[in-house]
Chain A
Amino acid sequence: MDTTILLILVQDGVVNGAIYALLALSLVLVFAVTRVVFIPQGELVAYGALTYAALDAGTLPGSVWLLCALGAGAFAAEAWRMRRRWRTRALLRLAAGTLLLPAVVAGLAMLLAPRRPGVAVEALLALAIVTPMAPYLYRIAFQPMAEASVLTLLIAAVGVHFVLLGLGLVFFGPEGSRASGFSDAVFSLGALTVQGQAVWIAGLTVALMLALSGFFEFTLFGRALRATAVNRLGARLVGIATGQSGAIAFTLAGAIGALSGVLIAPLATIYYDSGFLIGLKGFTAAIIAGLASYPGAVLAAVLVGLVESFSAFWASAFKEVIVFTIIIPVLLWRSWRHGPTEDEE
């Protein structure tokens, strides 16, 4: 191995690690606020990538219809919960969020998709299509059982993962897609060749992290989310609607997933089922960080990315085995440090 290869591997690792870091952040956020281990995060990545690739190719992505269907499902689920205390205003607001919004997005997509409006608009449109799916999923699947145990919620998350996987095949088909990047520029830094897309990924990741920390530090919503994460009951007692906190957390997760998808679509061919493994690597990072610490999750994600790129070089067949087994020494260290714990109810 010479320096050039080393640098390429490190660059690959850091770029992938940045994506895993975004996913890890979103997983930590969703878990802290709603106690849901959000396994379907990876599907949102695949949806984001495939939607963006379809728009990039000038076709209307199938996910538009999925968005409308999920919106309608969320409307039905929420209306069913409201059947005892029917309030017209709340219902109208709900309809705006779950029926009107998807219709507008779908209309825009139909209007813009054939005209190939350029990378930036396509990326934004992909975000608009995929992001709302996450809060809809929350309304349909998780909010009705918000008080269930972490384990029950985890199993439900696996159920949602299955549904999204099947729907992905229906709406995107079995073929993989690749999209054009934000930038075709190539820079040279000494022995290192840096691709424009890599710079975009690293830059957007850092920007998003800064924006998230600002959101948690300075906005009311962000603080409400943190309060919910620390103590659900306490948050409710001081007037925070924990259901709404959950919906916000899922919206952020949806946006992060979709953005990660848009970012990697130019780097790799993405299939409807590619998301699961990508998401799991985000998980590995989040677990290493204990599903609790944001900076820890970012560091762990970069580590996962580096381990992946180096094991892809040395033992490509065992890339996945190596990536998923690095979790084990970490878990050992954790359990050795904390000792056995009482299982939560």
Chain B
Amino acid sequence: MRPGPLRLPLLLAAGCALLPWLPGLPPYWITLADYIGVAAIVAVGLVVLTGVGGMTSFGQASFLGFGAYATAILSARYGVSPWLALPVSLAVSAAAALLIGAVTLRLSGHYLALGTLAWGVALYYTFANLDFFGRNDGIAGIAPLHVGGLALVDPRWSFTVIWLGVGLAVLATRNLLDSRAGRAIRALRGGALAAASFGVDTPRARMLAFVYAAVLAAFAGWLYAHLQRSVNPTPFGINASIEYLLMAVVGGAAHIGGALLGAALVTVFNDLLQDWLPRLLGHQGNYETIVFGAVLVLVLQASPQGLWPHLARLWRWRAPVRRVVDAAAPPLPRRALPARGTPILEVAGLRKNFGGLVAVGGLDFAVAAGEIVGLIGPNGAGKSTTFNLLTGVAAASGGSVRFQGRPLAGLPARAVAALGVARSFQHVRLVAGMSVIENVAIGAHLRGHAGAFSALLRTDRAEETLLFAEAARQLARVGLAEAADRPADSLALGQQRIVEIARALCLDPVLLLLDEPAAGLRHHEKQALAALLTRLREEGVAILLVEHDMEFVMTLADRLVVMDFGTKLAEGPPEAVRRDPAVIEAYLGSVA
């Protein structure tokens, strides 16, 4: 590995180690900074879970509790060294997260948030009522951290340890987010459906984010237990969970910097308020909770993205990062495409009912390798539903779909993608915050294998180079090489459709399903697209095309299938279909 990427973290780490030893620094500030560090680690986990993965947890403090209680019990009751207790703390929390996640992660949106609220409360009362956890008194007499014979009781040592921990958490999180597994988590935001259509195991990506955030929280809990030297249930209750969420939201939940900023602001603010408000307003009252709540609501009203994006813009930290792509990287292995004319897709009697509505009612057609088939029909004819049935996004009510002779019935979208079926969407489904090339690289998800651990340790770099070289090649092929580093949502809608095609090509497809690819394109862009599709046909890819632009589809397609009201109206070469009276009536209405 080049020395570059490590130099900054190493410098920061050295800074952390030395900073508190500066003469004249008030010890109180150091203690405050210790608590900021602990909170920052939890908030960084929430960035992955909530800001990036889109799952809100009102129970994050419970995982802090698992980590803290595990080390407290081991070190105070059994005299185990804190360093040996650390892996146990992390493992206990990860196991708890796996269990809780298995139960709650299938819930969506606000149900998930409320579910976490419920088990957050339940776990708090469990901590507070079991003798094993010392009930409300908690567990005291936890050993401090020690290195060799030196006990790190001085807050300055704690500072060093905690901020090294923060550095580690930030580094690990950056590594994770910039990896195959991390892109899978980030893709959840662009719609789980699109991610699944490119082979991302979305439940697994959700679980990864959940467990990762829980492990970071447990790490913070471990630090907290040895900093505090005693634990009790209060800091692991629902209010603490909400405070961590507040940090992430105020700072900016989508950014690691936002988590650090939020942790610092909330901790300092909390401290100041606890100090000053009672003096100003007399003694009775939890005034800081009032101000906290009000600030949270105001931030959400005025700047739902948090404060970090404003700060970053101020300091121009968001200068576009250019991803270095190794053009000389060898191409990824490709699957052997079947000989031209081999039947690829055979659809027989395909049906889909939504309640009483028949969206697709007995559709038959076939697509062969090296053939472009156009699926046309008026709006509402069932074309997009057909696409969803073919790709496993929706389950058919009847009929059969065979892909290279294999029945597709019952296969989830992920498995269909693994067979070599790639698609684009009628409503563009790119991940808005991600660059164009990262979006395209999601298409190559199934051609890589690196998991979360190799991402954290950066042993995935060789594979990442190959994946991004492939993404760059496909982007160049569709003519968007210059746009690679731009945010996907900054492109015109027509270009975003082309990005979707590049993403689909990254899958190395046998069958390509394109839903209105030419919509929103200018004339010369359409010509370029037609040339690209013609080239793919010559390579032996089978292409099924839904398109409203008749000129485009008539000149390109070998055959047309015309749908109306869920059934096939006509099928044949474009010229014949154009003259078919039934088709003319469906499109233009009866002449009579």
Q: How far, in angstroms, from A114 to B287 measured CA to CA in the complex? A: 30
CB of B108 within 8 A of CB of A342, answer yes
Residues of A within 8 A of B290 (CB): 162-163, 166-167, 170
Residues of A within 8 A of B54 (CB): 343
Write the nearest CB–CB distance from B218 to chain A, whole angstroms. Answer: 21
| A20 touches B (CB below 8 Å) | no
Given A169-B284, A321-B122, is A163 in contact with B114 using a C-beta cutoff of 8 Å? no
| A141 touches B (CB below 8 Å) | yes
Write the nearest CB–CB distance from B262 to chain A, whole angstroms. Answer: 13
Write the nearest CB–CB distance from B476 to chain A, whole angstroms. Answer: 32
CB of A148 within 8 A of CB of B108, answer no
Residues of A within 8 A of B312 (CB): none
Given A317-B129, A325-B122, is A340 in contact with B114 using a C-beta cutoff of 8 Å? no
CB of A155 within 8 A of CB of B296, answer yes
Chain B CB count within 10 A is highest, among A155, A173, A342, for A155
Taken residue by residue from 227 to 251, chain A's Cβ proximity to chain B (1 for < 8 Å, 0 otherwise) reads as 0000000000000000000000000
Given A154-B110, A169-B284, is A327 in contact with B289 using a C-beta cutoff of 8 Å? no
| B465 touches A (CB below 8 Å) | no
Q: How far, in angstroms, from A163 to B296 measured CA to CA in the complex? A: 10
CB of A154 within 8 A of CB of B56, answer yes
Residues of B within 8 A of A161 (CB): 293
CB of B111 within 8 A of CB of A287, answer yes
B102 (CB) vs chain A CBs: closest residue: A332
- The residues in A between 146 and 190 inclusive whose CB is less than 8 angstroms from any CB of B are 148, 150-152, 154-156, 158-167, 169-170, 173-174
Residues of A within 8 A of B291 (CB): 166
Write the nearest CB–CB distance from A223 to chain B, whole angstroms. Answer: 25
Q: How far, in angstroms, from A191 to B204 measured CA to CA in the complex? A: 55
CB of A332 within 8 A of CB of B108, answer no
Given A150-B109, A174-B284, A317-B129, is A160 in contact with B293 using a C-beta cutoff of 8 Å? yes
CB of A344 within 8 A of CB of B245, answer no
| A108 touches B (CB below 8 Å) | no
CB of A343 within 8 A of CB of B109, answer yes
Write the nearest CB–CB distance from A39 to chain B, whole angstroms. Answer: 8
A151 (CB) vs chain B CBs: closest residue: B56
CB of A159 within 8 A of CB of B110, answer no
CB of B192 within 8 A of CB of A340, answer yes
Write the nearest CB–CB distance from A47 to chain B, whole angstroms. Answer: 15
Given A287-B114, A342-B108, is A320 in contact with B121 using a C-beta cutoff of 8 Å? yes
CB of A166 within 8 A of CB of B285, answer yes
CB of B56 within 8 A of CB of A163, answer no
Which of A145, A150, A166, A324 touches B110 (beta carbons < 8 Å)? A150
Q: How far, in angstroms, from A162 to B193 measured CA to CA in the complex? A: 36
CB of B115 within 8 A of CB of A327, answer yes
Taken residue by residue from 83 to 106, chain A's Cβ proximity to chain B (1 for < 8 Å, 0 otherwise) reads as 000000000000000000000000
Q: How far, in angstroms, from A343 to B189 measured CA to CA in the complex? A: 9
| B397 touches A (CB below 8 Å) | no
CB of B286 within 8 A of CB of A166, answer yes
Residues of A within 8 A of B188 (CB): 343
CB of A331 within 8 A of CB of B103, answer yes
CB of A170 within 8 A of CB of B242, answer no
CB of B121 within 8 A of CB of A324, answer yes
| B297 touches A (CB below 8 Å) | yes
Residues of B within 8 A of A318 (CB): 125-126, 129
Task: List 12 contacting pairs A-B, 8 Å CB cutoff, sorted by A.
Answer: A152-B300, A155-B56, A155-B249, A158-B242, A158-B296, A159-B294, A161-B293, A165-B286, A318-B125, A324-B121, A327-B115, A340-B108
Chain B residues in the interface with A (C-beta under 8 A): 54, 56, 58, 103-104, 106-111, 113-115, 117-119, 121-122, 125-126, 129, 188, 191-193, 202-203, 242, 245-246, 249, 284-297, 300-301, 304
Chain A residues in the interface with B (C-beta under 8 A): 37, 141, 144-145, 148, 150-152, 154-156, 158-167, 169-170, 173-174, 277, 280, 283-284, 287, 291, 317-318, 320-321, 324-325, 327-328, 331-332, 334-335, 340-344
Beyond known contacts A165-B293, A280-B117, A331-B111: 16 more, CB 8 A cutoff: A141-B301, A152-B304, A155-B296, A158-B245, A160-B297, A163-B293, A166-B291, A170-B285, A320-B125, A321-B126, A325-B118, A325-B122, A328-B103, A334-B111, A340-B203, A343-B109
